[in-house]
Structure formats: structure tokens, C-alpha cells
Amino acid sequence: MNTKDDKQHSEQLVSNPAKLKQQQVEAEEMEVISPWKDTLKQLRKNRLAIAGFIIIAFFIVVGLVAPFLTPYTFSEQDPVNRLQSPNMDHWLGTDHLGRDIFTRIAHGARISLMVGFFAVTGALLFGTLFGIIAGYYGRWIDMLISRIFDILLAFPSILLAIAVVAILGASLQNALIAIAIINIPIFGRLVRSKVISLREEEFILAAKAQGMKSGRILRHHILPNSLAPIIVQGTLGFGTAILEAAALGFLGLGAQPPTPEWGKMLADSRDFIQLAPWTLIFPGVSIMLVVLGFNLIGDGLRDALDPKMKN
């Protein structure tokens, strides 16, 4: 601290030099914490969120190295060794066509995470865009967008997804599009309500009074301040999207054989539930674990990003 600052400072607090000193000490102890670093710090303290991260990291790694994990391919059939219970050659057993379940689950992890990622990204981008437009501009455009959201939300989500897939044709890609579409209003409404409350904030008025353009206000002031709920919903939505993809796969409307999609694996094996329960248990547990992982992270993020939860 240079002398000039010191002088200026002491002029304001000239009556109480002891207080001045104390203030300086406090100021030096205070380190600069950005909101994001603070969130990370909060998150690291949350054990459940860490558990979620470990689960997801495990499935990501398994998905990445899937081709090198086992000597089998996910579509390789071996009729002689079908419906084998877990053993040294087939860690998680084989299905009714003699395919190695562990290999298929590892490859399925790729598909599920990919579906989750693209469906959530799509829903998040479009939902945020529509939500911001509706919330910031209001009037008839808000009316229009909000009513479309209401209509989309009035359908049971899986029914809507089935309708979309029925129009586009059954494939993994179309299932992904369907899941993105049904999730758009969830993000859209969230962002809209956040934008409406932000719009009334004084710093937005202050930005306008500085001569800032609308686009810039949206990008620099509205969007960064609505990120927290978007991130939380995005993480939670990941789990939902994976679950919906599995449901569509189970109904035969998602990934087509021989793609090792977890929901499809469940559907294929349901006739053998008594004979070879492992053919259902392992894909089912995988779905459960991934969804649980994302939900744990989502909850952790929500707590970390909520200023009221801080102590």
C-alpha cells in the first residue's frame, strides 16, 4: 500500500486510528474469491456430490476404454456359451445370444452418456434461448412461447417422445431428438422465471443507464446470472434423459439391434428373468447408478450454488 492511499484512507477515518489499522488487517486477510471458485470449494465439501462424481467418472472411463476391456466385441455371438452366469471368462455372464454382458454394458455406457449429453445440450440451448426471449421481451412473444411450453408439458413426456419417434422413425438419433424436445420446456420455463426476476434488478437498470445495448445486457448480465439454475437443471436433466432413452430403447423405439443400449438390453432379456437374472440385473443397475450419480452431483451443485445454503 503506497503512502498516497494511506493518506486518503486515514483522512476518512482520522478520528479513529485504531479502527483504521484493524480494517487494514481485515482487508489483507480477505482473499479474492470468484463466485465459481467458491462453488467448487463448496462442492468439494459435499461427500455425496463427490460420490456422484466418482460414479460418473467410473462410467466415463469404462465407456472410453470399452474396446480394450475385454477380448469380445459387443455384437459377437457365441451360441454355445449363451446365458452363462458370471464367471472368469465372462465377468458379468452372457445373454441369450452368448454376447458378453460386460462388453455390452461398457459400450452401452458410451451410448447412454452420449444420449444424455446431446439431449441435455440440445434442450438446454433451445430452452435457454426461448426462455430468455420470453422473459426479457415479454408481451406477445412471452405469451406465445409460454403457451407452447404449456402444451408440451401437458403431454406425458414419454408419450410425446413416442409420438416424435413415430413421426421421425425409430433410431437412436431420433430418440435423442425426441428427448431433447420434451426437455426444452423444462429449461425454458426455468430460465424465463429467472430472467423475469433479474429484469427488475437494479444492476440491469444501471447497465441501461450506462448506454448498454439489449443484446449485451442479455449476454453479460442476464445470462451469467441465470447460469446457476441452468447448470443444476442440466445435471439433473442428464439423469432424466438417460432414463428416458432407456425407456424408449425398452419399447424398441430407440437404439436398434445390435446396438448395446441398456434399455434395449433389458427388453431383450426380460424373457429370461428367472433363468438368467444377471442379464437384467447388470444393465438395470448400470442405469440406476448413472442416474443416481447425476442426481447426486445435481443436488450438490444446487446446494453449492445457492447462497442461502452457505454458512
Partner 1 sequence: MSDVILELNELHTHFFTDSGEVPAVDGVSFKLHKGEVVGVVGESGCGKSVTSLSVMQLVPNPPGRIVSGEVNFKGENIAVAREKRMKEIRGNEIAMIFQEPMTSLNPVYSIGNQLIEAVRMHKKVSKKEARNKAIEMLEIVGIPRPSEVVDEFPHQLSGGMRQRVMIAMAMSCDPEVLIADEPTTALDVTIQAQILDLMRNLNKEQDTAILLITHDLGVVAEMCDRVVVMYSGQVVEEGTVREILKDPKHPYTKGLIRSLPKLYEKEQKLYSIPGTVPKPSMDHVGCRFAPRCEFAWDRCVEENPDLYELGAERKARCFLYDEKEKVTEGGPQYDEADPRG
Comparing CB distances to partner 1, the nearer of 16 and 173 is 16
Stretch that binds partner 1, among 48-56, 142-150, 170-178, 204-212 (CB under 8 A): 204-212
Q: x/- site string to partner 1, residues 130 to 159, per CB under 8 A?
A: ---------x--------------------
Residue 21 as a binder of partner 1 (CB under 8 A): the answer is no
For residue 123, count CB atoms less than 10 angstroms from its CB and return exposed for 0-12, middle for 13-18, buried for 19 or more.
buried
Residue 1 as a binder of partner 1 (CB under 8 A): the answer is yes
231: its cell numbers? 447448470
Options 40, 166, 206, 288; binder of partner 1; rule CB under 8 A = 206
Comparing CB distances to partner 1, the nearer of 98 and 138 is 138
Comparing CB distances to partner 1, the nearer of 111 and 133 is 133
Comparing CB distances to partner 1, the nearer of 12 and 274 is 12
Comparing CB distances to partner 1, the nearer of 147 and 213 is 213
Residue 3 as a binder of partner 1 (CB under 8 A): the answer is no
273: its cell numbers? 428373468
Residue 29 as a binder of partner 1 (CB under 8 A): the answer is no
Helix orientation angle between 101-137 and 262-269, rounded to the nearest 10 degrees: 130
Stretch that binds partner 1, among 5-13, 88-96, 121-129, 187-195 (CB under 8 A): 5-13
Shortest gap between Cβ of 223 and partner 1 (angstroms)? 10
Stretch that binds partner 1, among 41-49, 116-124, 201-209, 250-258 (CB under 8 A): 201-209
Residue 311 as a binder of partner 1 (CB under 8 A): the answer is no
Options 3, 14, 29, 30; binder of partner 1; rule CB under 8 A = 30
Comparing CB distances to partner 1, the nearer of 150 and 201 is 201
Provide φ and ψ at 145, rounded to 5°: -65, -45
Residue 309 as a binder of partner 1 (CB under 8 A): the answer is no
Q: Residue 154 corresponds to which amino acid?
A: A
In the block, cell 489499522 appears at 21
Options 57, 61, 166, 205; binder of partner 1; rule CB under 8 A = 205
Q: x/- site string to partner 1, residues 209 to 228, per CB under 8 A?
A: xxxxx------xx--xx---
Comparing CB distances to partner 1, the nearer of 171 and 225 is 225
Stretch that binds partner 1, among 6-14, 91-99, 156-164, 186-194 (CB under 8 A): 6-14
- Is the Cα torsion angle 119, 121, 127, 130 positive or negative in sign? negative
Contact set with partner 1 (CB under 8 A): 1, 5, 8-9, 12, 27, 30, 32-35, 139, 201-203, 205-213, 220-221, 224-225
